[in-house]
Amino acid sequence: METAIKVENISKSYTLGTTKDNTFRHHISSLHKKTNVLNTFWALKEISFNVNKGEIIGIIGKNGAGKSTLLKILSQITKPSSGKIELNGRVASLLEVGTGFHPELTGRENIFLNGTILGMRRAEIVTKFDEIVAFSGVEKFLDTPVKHYSSGMYVRLAFAVAAHLEPEILIIDEVLAVGDSEFQKKCLGKMSEVANSGRTVLFVSHNMQAVSALTNKCILLENGMVEYYGDTNAAIQKYLCNSNDVYVNSKTPDHPYIKRVEIQSSESENIQQVNKPLTIAFDIETNRLLKGAAVSFQIVDNEGTPITHVLNIDSEVPFCNEIGVFKLKCTFPKLRLYPGKYSLTVYFAELSSKNHFETLENICPFEVIILNEIRDYYWIPNHARYIDDYHWSLLS
């Protein structure tokens, strides 16, 4: 089978620092120093893989695993620090929809603008113009500046242009996370059409549903390395199972960090009953005084959609106002999540300095069940996200 993409030992490092590094003064003063103490961060470490022609590969991993960096390197937006890549075929990358859209220009003008930016020739756009317009569904507003568009129309037009790219290798990042569900369906349809036409597709997403629907093989990235490359279902399984029931950070980083997160569910083994209290306990350790420490978390469903977001700033419940370990807990007196599988995404930051210390994704998985009311035809998993008290009555 012919190889479309061959990646050999790709690494990418970034130098961490403040924006001051960008000034001339910094550059000049760093010329004097013999040893330049630089804070290097490896976003990707010796990644290698092959993709055959016509394959559709999903790329999954937590935030910061290196997905975006990998896409940027494959689409030539940035150079790798070391390693080699071979690309066989015309590459188009779609890291966002509507790149280069100008608000002052009309829909028609933006189709040409965006199309050429994505690498289409003008003649190509002219031939596909009617198709693009029909797909977008904004015919009536073609000659209106896009600044007057609703965000939905804007996205539809942008995706319509992107959907008509015909490269041999297509690189896509999360563009499906936009638009209403109707339009998302249309996009998914278009994507599988592209996929079935024998083109090579690399698809990055947090949406496991979409990944499993579109791809047969997946690359699971973790800390800048390929953790797994193979069957999609196995990759998703690994991705979801990578987190333990209790999150513990046994390393001691040199910044304030979250030491431990635990779900205290109503039943054992992280099983939670609907309408019963659920407690989430945090141990946070700080090596310095924080001003405006903030910890927040989202409850995320098994497709990666956040259901609720809860925030605590130290003005409400003071913490991290001295050095040491702080134990916080958050209780939902009556958990109203629909039966299904959920996990947490936890954020820890200092508001005054805008320091973002940590994002812990996909930790502490738990399952919500209903024990008392057993109605097979009713509690279908994933039919809803939220459940509330209700009361039916017959009026006449």
- Summarize as ranges the residues that interact with other proteins (CB under 8 A): 10, 14, 22-25, 27, 72-73, 75-91, 93, 95-96, 99-100, 102, 104-105, 109, 112-113, 116-122, 168
In the chain, the amino acid numbered 226 is V
Whose CA is closest to 209, among 246, 226, 184, 228? 184
Task: For the CB of residue 342, give the shortest distance to other proteins in the complex, in Å.
Answer: 32
Question: How many other CB atoms sit within 10 Å of the CB of residue 226?
Answer: 20
174: its two tokens:
């999360």
Q: Which is nearer to other proteins, 106 or 243 (CB)?
A: 106
In the chain, the amino acid numbered 101 is F
Question: Cβ(278)–Cβ(331) under 8 Å?
Answer: yes
Question: Cβ(40)–Cβ(126) under 8 Å?
Answer: no
Task: For the CB of residue 34, give the shortest distance to other proteins in the complex, in Å.
Answer: 22
Task: For the CB of residue 325, give the shortest distance to other proteins in the complex, in Å.
Answer: 37
Q: Which is nearer to other proteins, 93 or 207 (CB)?
A: 93
Q: Which is nearer to other proteins, 13 or 242 (CB)?
A: 13
Q: Which is nearer to other proteins, 14 or 63 (CB)?
A: 14
Task: For the CB of residue 103, give the shortest distance to other proteins in the complex, in Å.
Answer: 9
Q: Which is nearer to other proteins, 87 or 170 (CB)?
A: 87
* Euclidean distance between CA atoms 28 and 36, whole angstroms: 12
Give the distance, in angstroms, between the CA of residue 98 and the centroid of all CA atoms in the same chain: 18
In the chain, the amino acid numbered 303 is E
Q: Which is nearer to other proteins, 89 or 137 (CB)?
A: 89
Question: Cβ(312)–Cβ(296) under 8 Å?
Answer: yes
Q: Which is nearer to other proteins, 27 or 288 (CB)?
A: 27
19: its two tokens:
């924006």
Task: For the CB of residue 236, give the shortest distance to other proteins in the complex, in Å.
Answer: 27
Task: For the CB of residue 141, give the shortest distance to other proteins in the complex, in Å.
Answer: 17
Task: For the CB of residue 162, give the shortest distance to other proteins in the complex, in Å.
Answer: 11
* Euclidean distance between CA atoms 171 and 55, whole angstroms: 12
Exposure of 218 by Cβ count < 10 A (0-12 exposed, 13-18 middle, 19+ buried)?
buried
Q: Which is nearer to other proteins, 15 or 331 (CB)?
A: 15
Q: Which is nearer to other proteins, 43 or 220 (CB)?
A: 43
Task: For the CB of residue 154, give the shortest distance to other proteins in the complex, in Å.
Answer: 14
In the chain, the amino acid numbered 255 is H
Whose CA is closest to 136, among 90, 98, 81, 87? 98
Task: For the CB of residue 393, give the shortest distance to other proteins in the complex, in Å.
Answer: 55
In the chain, the amino acid numbered 171 is I
The H or E element spanning position 261 is strand 257-264
Pair type for strands 247-248 and 225-231: unpaired
Packing angle of the helix pair 151-163, 107-117 (nearest 10 deg):
40
